[in-house]
Chain A
Amino acid sequence: MTVLSFFNYWAVIVLMMIGYYCMIVRGNMIKKIIGLGIFQTSVFILFISAGKVIGGATPVLREGVDVYSNPLPHVLILTAIVVGIATTAVGLALTVRIREAYGSIDDDAIDAVEGDDRA
């Protein structure tokens, strides 16, 4: 039961590892950005899970309810989602420009062109 009750956190860990793996292993830049998105989303779930209060109602003030869930993590994550979208947008825009400049969006293929460029 303890394992199941931490279901959210298991999901966070699994998603985080999927995203991270995708970012490191994939050469395709779009897939890297997808991995980045999954990675960031896992952290959003971590934050939001922390806002749940057992037995708490939705945080809208009304009569007859004493225990509310914590709304602050949701607000923070709303900001983080905006940041995440901006990151994805900048990443995709760069990918478009890289495709125009190199005719490829594969990291390894571009590395082959820019052979002398490795640090």
Chain B
Amino acid sequence: MRKNGAARVGIGGPVGSGKTALVERLIPALHRRGIDLAVITNDLVTHEDAERLRRTNLLAPERILAVEAGACPHTVIREDPTLNMEAADSLDRAFPTLDLILIESGGDNLASTFSLDLVDYWLFVIDVAGGDDIPRKRGPGVIQSDLLVINKVDLAPYVGVTLEPMIREASTARQGRAVLCTNCRANEGIDAVADALCAAVLYQPA
């Protein structure tokens, strides 16, 4: 078993912003970087996201665990993350060479944040179809996350969003901290996200 277990990265964001789509794209991107990976999904009262991921065959089914929050999703990633911590611990025990565990939160609101007792780094996914005013609303997820991902950038012209001001406002609200854009459907921007989280929490000797 790796000394001190795998690094843990949280992925949060509103319902439908593309968290699961991002995970589906990150898995092959991280595999190409030689990273041994597992995923924990969080849903309200089902295993929907875990089952969706298993159907992709991107990871062995036993490397995908599901946590049912049973209530507001942020309760199991912030107030009492015990269920997710136990799931991550069990993955560490089952797969001793794991480098990284992605923990996808259930869809939540802009106030959703991860406890640093659970994760080492976390990203927050919003999308242009949710409105270009989201960064201006300065929710804790937008402001406090280590990395803000703006997804579905391809939809901007169809939903009346001009992307550049949205990115600029996001960067201002975050006082210059990282903002990346993705189009998960077309696999655009994924490598930059993979590089960012690897650089943050993994040791990769030259």
Partners in one complex: no
Binding site for A on B (CB under 8 A): none
